[in-house]
Amino acid sequence: MNVGSVMNLGYEKILLMQNPLNMESSNVIATFVYEQGLLEAQYSYAAAVGLFNSAINAVLLIVVNKIAAKLGDSSLF
């Protein structure tokens, strides 16, 4: 179940530790969505990026579930 949230990091800590010197290397998808959606007011673009992130998480969850079903007796569905 935790594989579905592998791309969701604790963006609050990353956002609080960002400064102009480390902005290029510390930008992750969650902080990018925050910046584009709330600071730049590009709501549709931020929603599309967030939806893409959720779709990747769902695909990862389904793939790991298929692998778990083949290797063992238990799976989610």
Least confident residue range of 4-8, 13-17, 64-68: 4-8
- Please report how many Cα atoms fall inside a 13 Å half-sphere around the Cα of residue 24, on the Cβ side: 1
Cα gap 71→56, rounded to integer Å = 23
Cα gap 19→71, rounded to integer Å = 45
pTM across the whole model: 0.75
**Per residue in 25-61, pLDDT tens?**
888 888 899 889 999 999 999 999 999 998 998 898 8
1: confidence class by pLDDT, cuts 50, 70, 90: low
- In angstroms, how far is the first alpha carbon of the chain from the final one? 12
Residue 32, C-beta contacts closer than 8 angstroms, at least 6 positions apart: 49
